[in-house]
Amino acid sequence: MTLSLVRASHDALAAGGALARADARHVERSAQLQMAQAVAEAIEARESLVAEAGTGVGKTYAYLVPTLLSGARALVSTATKSLQDQLFLRDLPRLRDALQVPVTIALLKGRASYLCHHRLAQARHSATLPDRFAVRTLAKVEQWAQTTATGDLAEMEGLDERSSVIPLVTSTRENCLGSECPEYKRCHVVRARREAMAADLVVVNHHLFFADMALRDSGVAELLPSVEVAVFDEAHQLAEAGVQFLGTTLGSAQAIDFARDMLGAGLQQARGLVPWPELSAGVDRAARELRLAVAGPLRELRGTLKLRWEERAGRAEFVDALAALGRACLSAAEGLATVSELAPDFVKLEERALGLAALADRFAAEAATGQVRWIDVSPHQARLVESPLDIRDALREQRSTGRRAWIFTSATLGDDERLSWFTEAAGLEDARALRVGSPFDYPAHARLYIPAGFPKPNEPRHAASVALLASRCARALGGRTFVLTTTLRALQAIGDALRAEFEAHGDALQVLVQGQAPKRALMQQFLAEPRSVLVGSQSFWEGIDVVGDALQCVLIDKLPFPPPNDPLVEARVKRLEAQGRNAFADYFIAEAAVSLKQGAGRLIRSETDRGLLVVCDPRMAGMNYGRRLREALPPMTRVPDEASALAWLETLAACEAG
């Protein structure tokens, strides 16, 4: 039986096979065939497979072809909604047509991705919109709502996913009225779930998968028992997505949203019966006081800061603010209970108020055993988080519920043959591990430069030195350079220093810095103007695919070790040390190796790409663990000095000019 699916998958992917006949550009790749065989074997045996597939293997087709040919009911989960769309709109239809298999496919996202007709009507009548952009956006949503068949907000061109309008026109588990909703028959979420239940293959994302495990609220819980094959692409993001969603969260924004919804529904449907403005203002004020108590002196924040629970939890102002939020929510619940018979909105709002009060009580008490707590503070909100340390128990429970194949794949899952970085955190030590290397000729096409005598990352002049080296590389190449930083502080310092350097020397080179525009817009600017240097932090280390000559130099400011004072990191280190293990070797270096592979992976994206990787951290060359990190990278040819590195870039620039 195994041979049949292995043979069918091989034949489809081989030269002269179904894919080659459907697409003249398709070429046979031995690495892809090797992975497809392992996937086919895992599907037939209903076993677990963890497969690391280097850039250029074609892993998407390597798992989709056996999955489609098997005829098994399947769930495919990926890291982001944009990757979901790519699978559903491009890859799966293309393969289904090429293989000529009668497979029905469906796309399932979380509630926040779908328009809610009921919430849109409420927003139209009662929302206080923050600015004219929001007014304009709401008008566009109303116009689009007349024609959309799916209600998927991704259909709307130019809708910023950070728009303040999105929470107003989408539902959450807390505010959804379910079958009591007057718009239930037209509900886009219900329709998407119905289509998913009827489909042969459903595409979801990791956040949805784990949110469902925690809340049973996305439709995956009903779907999973009937699934025979579960595939997780971009599996390196699985553990963090799981930790995020399997935890418990109380956010100030959550409470402020509730206060706004209560005020809108109260004034619209029960004006004068309850003091809605006072109740709403009480919750809103308490939520903002909680954020202030958490933020303390941290007035100017860029991005999100993680604080140790102990740093704030014992302080009187924090304890008082948490208690005040609980009392304000209970007062709101009492008011809502008096009008609960008037409309289903009030029943849901009462449930939300009681839920928020219960969360305030929970975070006022001690954390549950085996959980870690911390506080996320951003410019606009504070989030209290209680979370498991990893996804081991959650995945083990899922894998025990029925006999099915589990496939986990990514370009980076570890730096050893057992892929321990991933398999340990996911409780998959019993799974088959496969590493399939990239088919690209890295020794010929890529160079690695680790500058000798460079300032150490903790020295004050490190960021300025990175900027100067980046400026020399960009000059030699004529732009086409990325600088990847490990912190937002370094991001700003390097960006500012680069601009100053180019201006001082009259270089016609553009500096683009993460944060000055949305990620997609920055990438469009980078591609439109080759004489550019893009400085990006965490979100640019992966998921960026620049093929060809547009990107030929990547600098990494320092080794991407996890921050040792991060509460989750601290808790994981303590657990390893309690087991008698070396936390630095087993955790910090393993994490750095995977992140380094991700960042370096931006450089070579096709068989013909060429470029230079610069790691501006002398520890990569000088420390005894440097060898392990160098070996984690693709086999690039190492250059001894800056002159050789710049000569290589000048060669690439000359080829481009020629």
Summarised one tens digit per residue, pLDDT across range 410-428 is 999 999 999 999 999 999 9
Average pLDDT, the chain: 91
Percentage of the chain with pLDDT > 70?
A: 97
Distance CA 247, CA 254 (A): 15
* CB 62 within 8 Å of CB 14: no
Backbone angles phi, psi at 548, to 5 degrees: 95, -155
Report helix, strand or coil for 616: coil
Domain spans of the chain?
2-110+190-235+391-436, 246-388, 442-657
Kindly tell me if the per-residue pLDDT of 220 is higher than 80. no
For residues 174 and 182, what is the distance between their CA atoms, to the nearest angstrom?
A: 17
Phi, psi of 554 (to 5 degrees): -125, 125
In this model, does residue 649 exceed pLDDT 80?
Answer: yes
Residue 329 has pLDDT above 90, yes or no: yes
Residue range 610-633: average pLDDT? 94
Kind and range of the H or E run holding 27: none
Cβ atoms of residues 594 and 421 within 8 Å: yes
pLDDT digits (tens, 9 = 90+) for 518-557: 888 899 999 999 999 999 998 898 878 888 899 999 999 9
Return d(Cα 210, Cα 238) in angstroms, integer: 9
Average pLDDT over residues 578-588: 94
pLDDT at 1 over 50: no
Tokens of 398: 């899922």
Angle at 522 between CA 519 and CA 524, to 5 degrees: 110
Superfamily of domain 2-110+190-235+391-436: P-loop containing nucleotide triphosphate hydrolases (3.40.50.300)
**Domain spanning 246-388, CATH class:** mainly alpha
Average pLDDT (76-80) is: 92
DSSP string, 572-614: HHHHHHHTT--HIIIIIHHHHHHHHHHHHTTT--STT--EEEE
Give the residue among 125, 155, 129, 162 at the shortest CA–CA distance from 141. 155
Return phi, psi of residue 379, to 5°. -55, -25
Give the count of beta carbons closer than 10 Å to the beta carbon of residue 225.
Answer: 9
User: Does residue 111 contact residue 175 with C-beta atoms inside 8 Å?
Assistant: no
Spatial distance between the Cα atoms of 615 and 558, rounded to a whole number of angstroms: 7
- Check residues 401 and 146 and name the one with the higher pLDDT: 146
Phi then psi for residue 223, to 5 deg, are: -75, -45
CA distances from 331 to 244, 265, 339, 356 (A): 30, 16, 14, 12
Distances (CA, A) of 76 to 46, 83, 114: 15, 11, 20
414: CB partners within 8 A, 6+ apart: 52, 420, 421, 422, 423, 590, 593, 594
DSSP annotation of 433: E
From CA 655, how far away is CA 552, in angstroms rounded?
12
Residue 302 banded pLDDT, cuts 50, 70, 90: low
Closest CA to 64 of 101, 110, 29: 101
Compute the 3-state secondary structure of the chain and give helix, strand, coil in percent, each to the nearest 5.
55, 15, 35
Strands 105-107 and 229-232: unpaired
- Reported CATH class of domain 442-657: alpha beta
| Cβ proximity of 632 and 415 under 8 Å | yes
Contacts with 244 (C-beta within 8 Å, 6 or more apart), sequence order: 207, 210, 387
Q: For tokens 């990569």, what's the residue?
A: 620
Q: Beta strand pairing status for 305-308 and 371-377? A: antiparallel
Beta strands 510-513 and 532-536 are parallel
The stretches of 378-530 forming alpha helices (DSSP H) are 392-399, 420-426, 442-445, 462-477, 488-504, 519-528
Residue 2 predicted with pLDDT over 50 = no
Amino acid at residue number 178: G
Look up residue 286 and give its two tokens.
Answer: 């308490």
pLDDT band at 3 (very low <50, low <70, confident <90, very high): low
Does 656 score more than 80 pLDDT? no
Give the position of tokens 């150490």: 456
Task: State the pLDDT at residue 127.
Answer: 59
Residue 126: the pLDDT is 67
Q: State the amino acid at position 410 in one-letter form.
A: S
Q: Are strands 611-615 and 446-449 parallel, antiparallel or unpaired?
A: parallel
Q: What is the pTM of this model?
A: 0.89
Structure tokens at 620: 């990569």
Determine the average pLDDT of the residues in 116-142.
Answer: 84
Domain 246-388 and domain 442-657, same fold? Reply is no
